[in-house]
Amino acid sequence: MTAKAIWIDGKLIPWEEAKVHILVHAMHYGSCAFEGIRMYANPKGSFILRFKEHMKRLLDSAKIYRIACPYTLEELMAAVKETLLANELKEAYIRPFIFRGYHSLGLNPFKCPVVTAIAAWEWGTYLGPDALEKGVSVRISSWNRPAPNTMPAMAKVAANYMNSQLVKMEAIQDGFDEGIALDTFGYISEGSGENIFIVKNGVLFTPPSSSCILPGITRHCVFQLARDLGITVKQHVLPRESLYVADEAFMTGTAAEITPITKVDTIMVGEGKRGPITQKIQKAYFGIIRGEQEDKYGWLEKVA
């Protein structure tokens, strides 16, 4: 994971020199809002997927945690493009983040300066090169998502991902590719960094925002695609056993894209392979990204 430069508060800094003080507030308390965004190359050029939506969510996450970003949405979007061009990337994973820097280490963060940075590098399929076709195995985690009014699930911030790390590490150590957390009421919430969908009798189900999920942008892409494909989508609380008896299941996220789930807790999902509805949604999703289909939703923004 490397590139030429990282953008920090208006300046492009050589990758190896992009450093902060060891006592920055974010390192000790997780006070950092961030985003993960993908840029894809197709015959028409390089395009950032759902660019504005991601950058708006970044600012919203910072707002929830009262981190006052000194840059406007338009300035941040221009800085992302500047970073991509400086690194001469045709495809990339983009990580903009806003964090509290070095001043003091009390829990009161307001005296700490706010630092804004943008990194970008090449990154392949998140869950492995074969995951999009062959699917992944998951386990229900022993770790739950936080209860309502404890940690704001709508904010994409570093502190929230300590819970995700526990979910992920437990799954890996037990021989699975990924873990799925339940919410505080015992219903399906999400993966360590992905939203969950199941297919039952031709209907697509996904947990609602009240199940302590990050309302994903790729999740919203699936809503749009499924409805245009004539597939009914329902947001509904889902008991864990609904995964065991699902006809199909898949995970969504900027990094994971649309990845089939073929096994849950050693129980085979459906026929144990990517199902027809999952494949249909994948085809429509990647068709737009690869320039094979019209971008009728306006998802792609070109980088010169």
Contact 276, 265 (CB under 8 A): no
Known catalytic residue at 200: no
How far apart CA 269 and CA 247 sit, in angstroms, is 6
**Number of other residues whose CB lies within 10 A of the CB of residue 161:** 17
Q: 182: part of which helix (H) or strand (E)?
A: strand 178-182
- Nearest in space to 281 (alpha carbons), one of 208, 206, 211: 206
H-type alpha helices, 87-181:
131-134, 161-173
How far apart CA 7 and CA 17 sit, in angstroms, is 11
Helix, strand, coil abundance in the chain, percent, nearest 5: 30, 30, 40
How far apart CA 94 and CA 108 sit, in angstroms, is 30
List of residues 6+ apart from 105 with CB closer than 8 A: 23, 25, 28
How far apart CA 269 and CA 137 sit, in angstroms, is 9
- The residue from 52, 90, 156, 168 that is catalytic is 156
Question: What amino acid positions are annotated as catalytic residues?
Answer: 156
